[in-house]
Structure 1
Amino acid sequence: MKFGKQLETEAEDIPSEWRPYLIQYKALKKIITRVAEEIESRGLSASLLHECLEDSGNEESFAIHDNEQDHDNDSIPKIKYYFIGEVPNVKPCIEFSYDPSEPKVQQMLSKLLISSETPNQDADRPKLEYKRSHNNKDIFSLSSSINSGEEDVLHSPAFTRQRRDSTVQLVKELVKLTLAERDRIKDSHEHEDMTERTESMERGKLKTLVIELEQDDEFFKLLLAELDQAAKLQNVTSQRFEEDINSLELCMIKAAAPTQKSEMYHWRKIFSVYMDAQIFQGNAEADRTFRSVERAKRQMTWFVEQLNKQDLLKKFKTKESKSAFEQFIALNTELITMKHYQVLNQTAMRKILKKHDKRSGLTASQSFPELVSTEQLFSPKLAGMLYATITSKLTSIIPQPDDYACPVCMNVAWRPIRLRCDHVFCVRCLVKAQKKKMNGCPLCRHPTAVRDATALNLDEGLQNFLKLYFPQEIKEKKRDNEREQAIEDIQAMTGKKYSEEQLMRMSQQSHNKCLIM
């Protein structure tokens, strides 16, 4: 499937109000045809331009050669495609720089002077339009619609006609000479003496010929206008998205309040599944990459399926929770849509610039993205930032047990003891460590953090927080602590040590009813 048709198909997944802000691929494609026709109609070859500009882009590779070769490279006419002005008022240009004192350039110019005296065989071919000169720089345009009165003011008719008639042939010869000289330097190992070459360069003064591309200018004006509209839509959507996140936060505070214990635990389970889904970004240290649109959609589908399998949505009892969940799903769906919109625009721009370069022989795909800072416009970090905002908001509203677990037993750190090194352990694990004469912190290896801990190290603020948000976990932790203490008491009274299997059997028997009574 061609990309134009693919773009139309995938645009159906984008909200209707966003579709006008997609890059108009077909309209730009039509202008590319006019750009290519404009260049070819003025006698320039797209294939030769591409070859010259491609070599010019690799000029830095020549700089690693010896000094003699560098001087030889300086004798080559330079061809450059670039943009002048600032966004959004930029114009594409082709610039030819050459040294008229170079022997081969002089020879070429003399041939052009002789050929200009002969009748022009291509009289019907449109010529380049001379516009102005400044500091050894002659500026031409590919436009054929110049005002005749304006032309008379600029220069005399004879002078202007002479420049028009010779410029196309001059550009052709400069292109051919550039390619021939570069091929010769790449293959040749014999160089002229450095002193003679330096003197030649001192004698010569570079002259520049600039061609302004009118149809190319129209192409980039349209592309820049569309990118500007896309950037505005992205900014507006991002601001609205952040407002919706704040609104969801307020709803969640009411729906998952600690006073609503059953709702809070349902939300905690949902959020745990959501984090496991890793819809937008990986959670593991080995995989922090941003997900593609296709994978984000798959993970979102998996998340909803898991909720349905566990019947978590049916367990909501309040309207606030149901409304908050719908808003939560809508936010994630919109974030995937925004990411999809970004990818479509980014792909459309890359494809259209590639087609532009292929048809015209120019190199816009190399310089244009840097000009408009497309990294900010199409950066996946935007979706990542919004996703991080969602997760941070939910984490603050519905804290997870793993974030408050004792690093030894991995359960909620009930009766939290904060050591002098600021690490937190449950009181049970800390007492065990002190009995085993462990003096240092097991995390940071502080030499006396465990030994010096006392009841004064109890973090009462954290204890009240845990009691408020983790009542079930604390109840289970208390039961485990009581069981461990009972086993220790039995072992102290009997003087025997029991195996894990015996302890499990004893634990099961303690729950059985008395057969006599």
Structure 2
Amino acid sequence: MKFGQGFEAALARDEYPREWIDHAISYKKLKKCIKRVQQELASLGLDKETLDALWQHVNTGATEVGGQLGERLQYSVDGNEKLIFTPKLTIVIDPRDGSPMDAWLSPDTRRILKRLAKTEDGRRPSVATVNEIVPDGQDQQLETVEVPLTSDSEFFQILTRELSDLDHLQNSERSQLEVEIAQLGRELRALRSSRSKRSKKEIEAWRTIFELYTDAEVFMSSHEADAGARDAAHAQKQYAEFNKALAAHQNQIIQLGKEGNSALDRFLRVNIKLLRLIKFQEINHMALNKILKKFDKRTALRARSSVSNTLTQSPLMAQNLAKATCFTISEELLNIIPQLNDYLCPVCFSISYKPIRLRCGHIFCIRCMVVLQREEQDRCPMCREGVVLDASSDNLDKDLMKFMEKNFKVAVRTKQKENEIQAGIDRWGAQYENAQKCIVM
């Protein structure tokens, strides 16, 4: 299947809103513009084969002009703030007879360029801008002819207008997502401020949801092999994994009430919409690259190198939608309900209770600090600074300990029990652990 057909099929298949489809890059329309560019170039004697030969000669035989490397053929795209493009083809010619300074051009091209360089009555033509170039060490003067290309202007005006529309659409949809995320954040903050038993159960349910969501890394990966934003296909796969995990933890999530389930549904819809936006961005990005590649292939004008700076200023090309929105989700939602993973001891990977803050700033659970000091290991496991043996009861972070007791009651009770058993083993030996399992009949 050709790309144009596949592009239209993808737009229809993925059930994008009509407004999105109307703003997509008009690939077929731009292809027709390319045909008109080909016809215009052919009328000037600059068909693809001629330009290919000229570019080849330029690459192998450039001359020094004004102390810099001067090209005998250039293709440039001028644009103002309104993105109105005026493409020009510039060729160096010999003013004595109007012939281009290149032996590879066809006779038809030479005749046309001669007419462009000088008309029969001795005046310069209005369709071309002529500038003089005086190469170092040469007596003769060379001149440049700039040929405005009408069909190119149409092509780039359509393309830049559509990119501008896509940018506006993307910014609008992203703003809507941010509004929805902010509203969810306000509801979660209100839930946290409540002291009812029901709200505490719902907070624990949301903690589970956000823990599963963070572990799934739907849109952003922290793994070294594929760190960074995921493409739409991988994000879709990770979102499916997140939904499976939600189903497996239904017993905890069932604690959400009617309003909580409504909020969860909206949270899931935010993710689905973001997935569609990323996919829509990707296929339009691909369409843009494909049409520019086709333009260069059909015309040999090498437009991509001329317009790359202008196009990369477009948010469609430069903005990482997933990264920006994930930051908003993290700031507005995930940070409201503390996650246990953010308070784990980096040695035993359980909650850092009771938290010992070393002089270097790193935090460990008291049990791991006792073990390190007993083994006379002075270096911090994180930064290797010699601070462990200096730690004492004064290093206990009491505020953080209260925070953990308030937000992670189950994990704290579990850790306390483990610490008690380990302390008994230290005092009475390994048989102490087995003694805890004895049952009195």
- Indicate the structure (1 or 2) with the bigger Cα radius of gyration: 1
1:51 Cα offset (Å): 3.3
Q: Does 1:86 align with 2:80?
A: yes
Structure 2 SS opposite 1:350: helix
- 1:213 maps to amino acid: L
| Residue 361 (structure 1) aligned to one of 300, 319, 330 | 300
- 1:481 maps to amino acid: N
1:437 Cα offset (Å): 3.9
1:42 Cα offset (Å): 3.4
1:257 Cα offset (Å): 6.1
Alignment of 1:66-465 (within 5 A): 78-87=72-81, 88-100=83-95, 158-159=121-122, 199=137, 201=138, 203-255=139-191, 259=195, 260-311=199-250, 315-374=254-313, 376-379=315-318, 381-447=320-386, 449-465=387-403
1:398 Cα offset (Å): 2.1
Contact 1:307 / 1:313 at 8 angstroms: preserved in 2?
no
1:94 Cα offset (Å): 0.5
1:313 Cα offset (Å): 7.4
1:24 Cα offset (Å): 0.9
TM score, norm. by length of structure 2 = 0.84
Q: Which has the higher contact order (CA 8 A, sep 6+)?
A: 1
Sort the Cα spacing of 1:376 and 1:51 in 2 relative to 1 into closer, same or farther, 3 A. Answer: farther
Sort the Cα spacing of 1:304 and 1:380 in 2 relative to 1 into closer, same or farther, 3 A. Answer: farther
1:45 Cα offset (Å): 1.7
Bigger Cα displacement from structure 2, 325-334 vs 306-315: 306-315
Partner of 2:409: 471
Bigger Cα displacement from structure 2, 470-479 vs 396-405: 396-405
Contact 1:256 / 1:321 at 8 angstroms: preserved in 2?
no
Partner of 1:37: 39
Contact 2:92 / 2:101 at 8 angstroms: preserved in 1?
no
Aligned residue-pair number: 422
Sort the Cα spacing of 1:37 and 1:430 in 2 relative to 1 into closer, same or farther, 3 A. Answer: same
1:258 Cα offset (Å): 8.0
Q: Percent identity of the aligned residues?
A: 32
Contact 2:177 / 2:270 at 8 angstroms: preserved in 1?
yes
Structure 2 SS opposite 1:444: coil
Structure 2 SS opposite 1:451: coil
- Per-residue CA distance 1:161-212 (angstroms, 9 max, x = gap): x969xx9xxxxxxxxxxxxxxxxxxxxxxxxxxxxx964x1x0222111111
Structure 2 SS opposite 1:279: coil
Partner of 1:23: 25
Bigger Cα displacement from structure 2, 9-18 vs 465-474: 9-18
Sort the Cα spacing of 1:216 and 1:424 in 2 relative to 1 into closer, same or farther, 3 A. Answer: same
Partner Cα separation in structure 2 for residue 271 and residue 457 of structure 1: 31
Partner of 1:6: 6
Contact 1:281 / 1:291 at 8 angstroms: preserved in 2?
yes
Structure 2 SS opposite 1:411: coil
Contact 2:373 / 2:388 at 8 angstroms: preserved in 1?
yes
| Residue 481 (structure 1) aligned to one of 415, 419, 429 | 419
Bigger Cα displacement from structure 2, 221-230 vs 403-412: 403-412
Partner Cα separation in structure 1 for residue 314 and residue 375 of structure 2: 56
1:159 Cα offset (Å): 4.8
Partner Cα separation in structure 2 for residue 23 and residue 40 of structure 1: 27
1:104 Cα offset (Å): 8.7
* Structural RMSD (CA): 3.5
- Per-residue CA distance 1:99-154 (angstroms, 9 max, x = gap): 4479997999xxx9xx99xxxxxxxxxx89989xxxxxx69xxxxxxxxxxxxxxx
Moved over 6 A (4+): 74-77, 101-108, 127-131
Partner Cα separation in structure 2 for residue 312 and residue 326 of structure 1: 17
- 1:487 maps to amino acid: I
Partner of 2:435: 506
Which consecutive residues of structure 2, in runs of 5 or more, have no partner in the other structure?
Answer: 129-134
Partner of 2:132: none
- Per-residue CA distance 1:71-90 (angstroms, 9 max, x = gap): 9xx99981111112435022
- 1:86 maps to amino acid: N
1:440 Cα offset (Å): 4.1
Contact 1:100 / 1:106 at 8 angstroms: preserved in 2?
no
Contact 2:181 / 2:333 at 8 angstroms: preserved in 1?
no
TM score, norm. by length of structure 1 = 0.72
- 2:413 maps to amino acid: K
Partner Cα separation in structure 1 for residue 100 and residue 35 of structure 2: 33
Structure 2 SS opposite 1:254: helix
- Per-residue CA distance 1:461-505 (angstroms, 9 max, x = gap): 21121111101111111111222233344x2xxxxx43xxx4553
Contact 1:316 / 1:322 at 8 angstroms: preserved in 2?
no
1:10 Cα offset (Å): 1.4
Partner Cα separation in structure 1 for residue 403 and residue 6 of structure 2: 53
1:256 Cα offset (Å): 5.7
Partner Cα separation in structure 2 for residue 251 and residue 55 of structure 1: 67
Contact 1:91 / 1:212 at 8 angstroms: preserved in 2?
yes
Structure 2 SS opposite 1:20: helix
Partner Cα separation in structure 2 for residue 45 and residue 24 of structure 1: 25
1:342 Cα offset (Å): 1.2
Partner Cα separation in structure 1 for residue 218 and residue 357 of structure 2: 35
1:22 Cα offset (Å): 0.7
Partner Cα separation in structure 1 for residue 251 and residue 87 of structure 2: 59
Which consecutive residues of structure 1, in runs of 5 or more, have no partner in the other structure?
Answer: 64-68, 117-126, 132-137, 140-154, 168-196, 492-496
- 1:97 maps to amino acid: V
Partner Cα separation in structure 2 for residue 105 and residue 34 of structure 1: 25
